[in-house]
Amino acid sequence: MSERFLVVPVAHAGESAFGDAPDGDSVFDAGAGEERRGSVPILRYSREPNKYGDGNPRESRPFINNTDDDKGTLYDGKNMALFEEEMDSNPMVSSLLSKLANYTNLMQGVREHEEADEDEGAKKQTVKSPQMGTFIGVYLPCLQNILGVILFLRMTWIVGTAGILESFIIVSMCCSCTMLTAISMSAIATNGVVPAGGSYYMISRSLGPEFGGAVGLCFYLGTTFAGAMYILGTIEILLTYMVPSAAIFKAEEKAQEADALLNNMRVYGTCCLTLMSLVVFVGVKYVNKLALVFLACVVLSILAIYAGVIKTIFEPPVFPVCLLGNRTLQNHGFDKCMKTEIIDNVTVTTKLWSLFCKGPELNASCNEYFSLNNVTEIQGIPGLTSGVISENMWGSYGPAGMLVEKAVPSVPASDASQDKHLPYVLNDITAFFTLLVGIYFPSVTGIMAGSNRSGDLRDAQRSIPIGTILAIATTTIIYLSCVVLFGACIEGVLLRDKFGDSVKGNLVIGTLSWPSPWVIVIGSFFSCCGAGLQSLTGAPRLLQAIARDGIVPFLEVFGHGKANGEPTWALLLTAVICESGILIASLDAVAPILSMFFLMCYLFVNLACALQTLLRTPNWRPRFKYYHWALSFLGMSLCLALMFISSWYYALVAMLIAGCIYKYIEYRGAEKEWGDGIRGLSLNAARYALIRLEEAPPHTKNWRPQLLVLLNLDSELSVKHPRLLSFTTQLKAGKGLTIVGSVLEGTFLSRDADAKRAEQSIKSAMAAEKTKGFCHVVVSSNLRDGFSHLIQSAGLGGMKHNSVLMAWPANWRQSNDPQSWRNFIETVQETTAAHQALLVAKNVDSFPHQERLGEGTIDVWWIVHDGGLLMLLPFLLQQHKVWRKCKMRIFTVAQLDDNSIQMKKDLQMFLYHLRLNAEVEVVEMHDSDISAFTYEKTLVMEQRSQMLKQMQLSRTEREREAQLIYDRNTASHAALNDKTDATPERVHMTWTKDKFCTERNRNREPSANMAVRDLFSMKPNQSNVRCMHTAIKLNEVVVNKSQGAHLVLLNMPGPPKNRGGDENYMEFLEVLMEGLNRVLLVRGGGREVITIYS
């Protein structure tokens, strides 16, 4: 017989769950019919044979009462019944693996799906997303962005200005920086799924939302301005090399050429930006299709360069450069590089003559330098074997307006004031090494192009490392080879001619290419177009990812987009920012700005990888294994060095912007917990500090009150005395340790939800009172044990509390349960045993909240010395704005045989050495006779205590007698059950209710009468009389001197050694504080907390 569990429904009222219904209606398993509407199925054990023959019943639902058909695969059969109740939170492994197998990386980006606003409740519609591989998705975008504007427009000028050696250093530094960053990025990208906004996602999840948002927004700005730079490069190629006649603004004089060029670039750049934005708006698939065309042109251009270099060995191209003396001439207004020529045996002047002389006549007045020096023509491309590489090995820096000269002899002129108006080739900007680093670095910043579009990749974890590293390796080889080949093939004066004016306005790098310069011109044009489109594609998605994370509230509107997921609003903002970069209109001015933003992003990528590697977080398991923390630190150091090498003031500005964004996100942003590395670093630093703290106790100079605040909660789990938290804030001012604890009665299993609610309530109160610290709620069988556990175990290692702050139990006299004040006294005793200081606040609800107190006093009554805490507390309070205007007064008590004058001098000197400003007063309390009032008050106190004991005793007797009846009844039943053979008999109760009452009254009457007689004939204990006398006399003095003080601090007397005098101790304290508004009882922890030494 196989054993089975069958599911049966619980019938409605009046129906039988088991016998009245036919089998088909009562048994629910795989073959049974539908359950009755409204019935709740339960399990019934059955030993019937299994009708299905397999020995394992198949149930169609994972849970007993589950009606969701889609969960049928989670739980099958009875094998997992032990885990059935946890299925909601802990699904079966098979279900989890099934979900993971169906996972697709359709997070954000250009996935084409409908994502409507959740508030409107619209239904999401999923459409197939473009999925790209390594080559198209990562390698090509990176290659396009890296091989962009700088290679074609500025590389030759950098090589000519810096020389081959320094250019090689620049390229090596920048490419090493990006390669190290790519290695770190690969490790992070393969440590989990990377959705859209790849670089931002990697940084934010590794370093936290503050760093991620700050660096992410900086990287977004850098990518956006990169789009502006590529567009400016496109327009520069168009107007300078392709269609110069298309310029709208034309310069009438040479001095106006720069302004005219900038205005033309602003107009055409705006038009180009509009066109590109429309292309991106239409869809990313068109960008991808255009990208292949653009990249083909780029590859052809690079091949044309290498082909041209090889051709220079056999047949260098003819691009003559005209020199006047050693000065390079702009070859625009003349066709022959000579002053005069002979035509029909007649010497005539050329067009070059008219540029330097006042007329075409041979005797016309000419420029002095023109007259003194001859015109020579040299080849701009002498060839690979010409030996020009030795001349171009070293740099030639100079200020703006410096003439581009060749190292040949010439006759200088006396007046050089008119040189800038003559057709010489000049430096348009001041050139120096660090500037060239800043201008060149944007050419290697395309390494994030693939990770920015990670939402479109089929397998981002595989594609991003392979594609990015291959792209960097490819472009590094191209850049380094170009540096050497340009320096070996091209004349130095032509290399330093930024716009190719000496070769009739040809693109300098185009003069080297084969078969035609137009191959390079067209290739560079499409290269810049493609890189601009890639930037305008990636930047809006980066902003969209930041906006959807919700860490920057004012950016949330940019998280929305079109129905297919395109970030429309983010694209609009990107276009506006990009337009501001176009209005700058100077490629050389925009490039260093980009360098700062990109370098900062790369710095934090390296930092994130190094941090995760060193911390050895359990979740740090990258598939990419070729990384090391030393490489990441090297990359980070290189990034930081390049930032300040390029431009120290731009670096500081970029850091300031990132810092402002960081603080804004920290202050206003949503709280996120992403398991970031900064949190892990904090944990490790905290662990290290805790271990160091535990090695030795703190020195007196470092002692400050580390508070454990004991709070009471009402029935609604709200804080009863929130002003206790206000006082904590004023006392601590955010320094040191603060633990706010409370106790709930019960068991943790039954009150775990209440404990969480209480913790949230306390945290809300702490936030309202601006109390910085930790919250700890304990569930215990009784309050006394709970508070004892807190006092013993709160804190960790060296970060444990040394002081306890609690409120005075104001209604202890009216309480029917003496346990309330006994809990208080036992708390006092336990803090004393634990050598912890104790602060007890009376009338804590009247303590100031946030309002500043006016001028007044904080009065300290220093009766006994217990470590100096009484003097330290007012000083700490005075540091807070609430108590800042209050002055400290210290009172001490002199006995009959004390010299009060000398005591005052000594105390003043002691305070002087303690560096405390306070008024000192010595109060004389002479021995006086105990008054009748004191005697009577002590007698009333003891009579009350005796009555409470008798009431407690009566309650105990009643409980004991009831237990006796129960025990006897239980014994009778036990004796009856032992008689197995006897017939059942009726049990006769020995004690009836009437008999019990009569017996109890008969036994109690003599003792009760005797107790009453003893109560009225008792005499007070002499020790209690003396204690009450001290409390009354001291209270009279304190009230007389300090009734108007803002706060009174008193030494708290120690608790009684024996348990018999607990209630008397409470009475003494009550009398001591009577008539005072705000009182803080202070009991030291048994160690010195203040010192006169430095």
Residue 16 pLDDT level (bands cut at 50, 70, 90): very low
- CA-nearest of 946, 911, 912 to 1021 is 946
Q: Quick one: tokens of 608?
A: 């994130």
Q: Distance between CA 335 and CA 649 in Å, rounded?
A: 46
Quick one: how far is CA 332 from the chain centroid?
58
Q: Distance between CA 205 and CA 107 in Å, rounded?
A: 15
Residue 956 pLDDT level (bands cut at 50, 70, 90): low
Per-residue pLDDT tens over the stretch 501-512: 888 888 888 888
Q: What is the pLDDT of residue 40?
A: 42
Q: Distance between CA 443 and CA 154 in Å, rounded?
A: 10
Per-residue pLDDT tens over the stretch 327-344: 888 888 788 888 888 888
Would the pLDDT of 862 be above 50? yes
- Percentage, residues of the chain above pLDDT 70: 74
Q: What is the pLDDT of residue 675?
A: 58
Would the pLDDT of 465 be above 80? yes
SS3 label, residue 553? helix
Q: What is the pLDDT of residue 604?
A: 86
Among the ranges given (265-274, 285-294, 483-492), the one the predictor scored with the smallest mean pLDDT: 285-294
Spatial contact of 308 and 500, defined as CB atoms under 8 Å apart: no
Q: What is the pLDDT of residue 347?
A: 83
Q: What is the pLDDT of residue 469?
A: 93
Residue 783 pLDDT level (bands cut at 50, 70, 90): confident
Residue identified by tokens 């395109």 is: 566
Report the pLDDT averaged over residues 815-819: 67
Q: Quick one: tokens of 993?
A: 């209710």
Report the pLDDT averaged over residues 547-571: 80
Spatial contact of 862 and 894, defined as CB atoms under 8 Å apart: no
Backbone angles phi, psi at 465, to 5 degrees: -65, -50
Which of the given ranges, 106-110, 143-147, 947-951, has the highest pLDDT on average?
A: 143-147
For residue 356, give Cα distances in angstroms to 334, 349, 353, 367: 12, 11, 6, 6
- Higher per-residue confidence, 1047 vs 961: 1047
- Higher per-residue confidence, 681 vs 436: 436
Which of the given ranges, 102-106, 254-258, 668-672, 975-979, has the highest pLDDT on average?
A: 254-258
Would the pLDDT of 513 be above 50? yes
Q: What is the pLDDT of residue 249?
A: 83
Residues 6+ apart with CB under 8 A from 1031: 1068, 1069, 1071, 1072
Q: What is the pLDDT of residue 39?
A: 42
Would the pLDDT of 428 be above 60? yes
- CA-nearest of 541, 589, 580, 598 to 564 is 541
Quick one: how far is CA 801 from the chain centroid?
28
For residue 236, give Cα distances in angstroms to 47, 269, 816: 90, 9, 92
Tell me if the pTM is above 0.85: no
Residue 196 pLDDT level (bands cut at 50, 70, 90): low
Q: Quick one: tokens of 460?
A: 């981002």
Report the pLDDT averaged over residues 256-285: 84
Spatial contact of 882 and 848, defined as CB atoms under 8 Å apart: yes
Q: Distance between CA 761 and CA 764 in Å, rounded?
A: 5
DSSP symbol at 746:
S
- Percentage, residues of the chain above pLDDT 90: 15
DSSP symbol at 71:
G
Q: Distance between CA 165 and CA 167 in Å, rounded?
A: 5
Would the pLDDT of 57 be above 50? no
- Higher per-residue confidence, 130 vs 665: 665
Q: What is the pLDDT of residue 576?
A: 92
Query: What single string gives the DSSP state of each residue in 167-207?
Result: HHHHHHHHHHHHHHHHHHHHHHHTTS---SSHHHHHHHHHH
Backbone angles phi, psi at 708, to 5 degrees: -110, 110
Spatial contact of 504 and 248, defined as CB atoms under 8 Å apart: no
Q: Distance between CA 784 and CA 828 in Å, rounded?
A: 11
Would the pLDDT of 445 be above 90? no
- CA-nearest of 172, 138, 691, 222 to 456 is 138
66 burial via Cβ count (<10 Å: 0-12, 13-18, 19+):
middle
Q: What is the pLDDT of residue 840?
A: 92
Query: What single string gives the DSSP state of each residue in 662-711?
Result: HHHHHHHSPP-----HHHHHHHHHHHHHHHHHHTSPPPGGG----EEEE-
Backbone angles phi, psi at 7, to 5 degrees: -90, 120
Residue 357 pLDDT level (bands cut at 50, 70, 90): confident
Report the pLDDT averaged over residues 652-670: 81
Q: What is the pLDDT of residue 164?
A: 93
- CA-nearest of 542, 799, 833 to 694 is 799
Which of the given ranges, 203-217, 479-493, 783-797, 1012-1026, has the highest pLDDT on average?
A: 479-493
Spatial contact of 700 and 1088, defined as CB atoms under 8 Å apart: yes
Residues 6+ apart with CB under 8 A from 706: 736, 737, 738, 795, 799, 800, 801, 802, 803
Is there a cis peptide before residue 515, judged by omega within 30 degrees of 0? yes
Q: What is the pLDDT of residue 12?
A: 44
Residues 6+ apart with CB under 8 A from 59: 7, 29, 30, 75, 76, 77
Residue identified by tokens 């810092």 is: 659
Mean pLDDT of the chain: 77
Per-residue pLDDT tens over the stretch 892-911: 888 767 778 888 888 888 88
Residue 56 pLDDT level (bands cut at 50, 70, 90): very low
Q: Distance between CA 114 and CA 131 in Å, rounded?
A: 17
Q: Quick one: tokens of 303?
A: 């091949």
Would the pLDDT of 943 be above 80? no
